[in-house]
Structure 1
Amino acid sequence: MSGQEKQARPKIPRRALDGVLLLDKPLGLSSNDALIKAKRLYLAKKAGHTGTLDPLATGLLPLCFGEATKFSQDLLEADKTYEATMRLGIRTTTGDAEGEAIDTRDVTCDEAAVEAAMTRFIGDIVQVPPMYSALKRDGKPLYEYARAGQTVEREGRPVTIHALKMIACALPLVTFRVTCSKGTYVRTLAEDIGEALGCGAHLTALRRTGVGALTLEHAVTLDALSTADEAERDSWLQPVDALLSTFPAVRLNDEATKRFLHGQRLRLADVVETRLEDGRVRVYAQDDGRLLGVARAGEGVLAPERLIVTAS
């Protein structure tokens, strides 16, 4: 194709969409590739995801479009829930099935011993990040050092395991459900459980089922998106405030709405009738119920943090 023909090709117009898509990411696809495919299907102008899932992981990947991208950080900070399967007796270079086996040991424990070992990891623990991770040292991701055969020292990081429960056991395979804080590496958790049992372990499957208050219940696949028409695809978009459902709601009258959208701080006593705990809140217009943005309540003041541009 000539340069003139390339220049003559019309550009496909992009849509200004605002909302959240709960995507069920497939196996073998990176989070960024999944985002690109969904963005292309929606012809969206602006989109972003809310936390990376490894290519070997499946499950819930919330994608944000338009104004929703302003609040994606809130999901990065949220707790996550996973269902995972680990294989006892084999350690790998990556901590999952993608790596090469580096240590093989007999599995002599029983189901009760596995359950007992898992209970030791509930609560606040310290994890050493894996070498095969995107964390950076001197500006370079750790996985680049690992691929070059180098190991660098990593400091342990505090994480919280809120819940950890075995849901199936057919040794040497164990499937469990875990709810954990941000920054938790489930493959490292599997490795550590394996070491506690004296046989080692690696992760063979990982599926994310929850991010904050969002679940897989209303998630859709890329295959479904690709065969749907525009109206059906749009019907799968959640409203922007789906990302903010855990925040208390505040509703403002017309005058307070105008001031809020100009970034002005408001006296809580003037806009909230009941007592409000200090912290972040979602703010709506009282007249039509539209989302105005997010604010922080404290010291008797409602201070705007992020505003919805289309609300003005």
Structure 2
Amino acid sequence: MYNGLLNIYKEKDFTSHDVVAKLRGILRQKKIGHTGTLDPNAEGVLPVCLGKGTKLCDMLTGTKKQYKVSFVFEKETDTEDIWGTVTKTHEPLKQDAPIKDTILSFVGEYDQVPPMYSAKKINGKKLYELAREGKIIERTPERIRIYDISDIEISYPEVTMTVTCSKGTYIRSLCRDIGHKLQNGACMTKLVRTRSSGFQLEYAHTLSEIEEAVKTGKIEEWIIPIEKVFLKYQKGTVKKDYDKVLFNGNPLKKEMFYEIDLDTTKKLRVYDESEQFIGIYYWKKICFSQIRFFMTTTNERKPWNTFIIQNNFNFIIQW
């Protein structure tokens, strides 16, 4: 079984679930999960967790994401993108309309109403299921954050820009809201996720590339070790005499580590004496207790030198 993470390029017309299903066939293993859904018409970075790496899914889902998005003014649709049914049209904006300033005014926090065509649930039912039944219901706005909007290119009526945002942000709805603030309409025409949880577009692999890598035996080079996610944390190596305590997932006292200067205010990535990554721990009163346990069997372990390190690879885990 493979353990770790893959940087997948989700192609257009695939659902995120489709990607996971196809990977299960390609890699011949069931334990696979993704970290953050992309709409079928969107493309780009989709981080995928394998084996023991699936324990990372909830950690990575909450991180910043970056998108390259295009939208057009003068039009509103039921799905808030170009693939939906047009519900309203508008006159062209005036030549002196403050388009760029209006776009930049969304940087920061704001309460965003999610689109009807989304996977959010109301009373146990997904919004898009209700929308397909012809129902439009009131949705509660959710506080999201736009960290940055850059590379704004205006070729009226189309606009292209790069957006860095928090978990839960709907880029379609951001386009909608920009249009409304200008007393006009807007709908998204293209969406590419360029970054997510430290994964970058330039290092992403399509499903066909993954399939070929499996055939040629190069897939190990593309699987990112779980421990790489936590390199910003301090390292602690447990003495061999305490292997039984360690492998059973029990709390660890300071004297069980080779390191004598461990900082109890910071999280700790723990290894055994043979440099096997065990898990992430935090200080609890008198000892270190586990947050996540990742220990693999000897047969499951993969040497670090099989992984091609990417210089720009940088994880930021939000707990």
Instruction: Give the TM-score range, shorter chain.
Output: 0.7 to 0.9
Partner of 1:8: none
* 2:269 alignment partner AA: R
Structure 2 SS opposite 1:251 = strand
* Residue of 146, 160, 163 corresponding to 1:175: 160
Asked if structure 2 preserves the Cα contact closer than 8 Å seen for 1:72 and 1:243, the reply is: no
1:300: Cα distance to partner? 6.0
Pair 1:276 & 2:263 matched: yes
2:61 aligned partner: 76
Q: Of the candidates 251, 272, 290, which is equivalent to residue 236 of structure 2?
A: 251
For residue 86 of structure 1, give the secondary structure of its aligned residue in structure 2. strand
Shift of 1:51: 1.5
Q: Is the 8 A contact 1:26 1:221 kept in 2?
A: yes
Q: Which runs of 5 or more residues in structure 1 are unaligned?
A: 1-15
Aligned residue runs from structure 1 range 284-295, under 5 A: 284-285=271-272, 287-295=273-281
Q: 1:249 to 1:97 in 2, by over 3 A?
A: farther
> What SS is found at the alignment partner of 1:53?
coil
The CA deviation at 1:270 is 6.4
Q: Is the 1:84–1:177 contact (alpha carbons within 8 Å) kept by the matching residues of 2? A: yes
Q: Distance in 1 between matches of 2:83 and 2:67?
A: 19
Q: Which residue of 1 aligns with 2:147?
A: 162
Displacement of 1:268 in angstroms is: 5.2
Instruction: Determine if contact 1:278/1:298 at 8 Å carries over to the other structure.
Output: no
Aligned to 1:200: 185
Does residue 1:262 correspond to 2:248, yes or no?
Answer: yes
Aligned AA (1:69): T
Q: Distance in 1 between matches of 2:47 and 2:60?
A: 9
Aligned equivalent of 2:202: 217
Output the CA distance in 2 between the equivalents of 1:300 and 1:176: 50
**Deviates further, 261-270 or 157-166:** 261-270
1:91 aligns with 2:69: no
Moved more, 108-117 or 181-190: 108-117
Q: CA deviation at 1:267?
A: 4.2
Is this contact kept in 2: 1:252–1:283, CA < 8 A? yes
Aligned length: 295
SS at match of 1:28: coil
Equivalent of 1:234 in 204, 214, 220: 220
The CA deviation at 1:120 is 1.4
Q: Name the SS of the counterpart of 2:84 in structure 1.
A: coil
Q: CA-to-partner distance for each residue in 1:137-174, whole Å, 9 max, x for gaps?
A: 11111111111111112111111111112432211111
Counterpart in 2 of 1:3?
none
Question: 1:220 & 1:207 partners in 2: Cα distance?
Answer: 14
Q: Distance in 2 between matches of 1:64 and 1:163?
A: 27
Change in Cα spacing, 1:270 to 1:124, as seen in structure 2 (3 Å) is farther
Unaligned runs of 5+ in 2: 299-319
Give the equivalent residue in structure 1 for 2:292. 306
2:57 & 2:96 partners in 1: Cα distance?
39
- What is the letter of the counterpart of residue 165 of structure 2? C
What TM-score does the superposition give when structure 2 sets the normalisation length? 0.84
Kindly state the Cα deviation for residue 94 of structure 1 after the two structures are TM-superposed.
0.5
TM-score by length of 1: 0.86
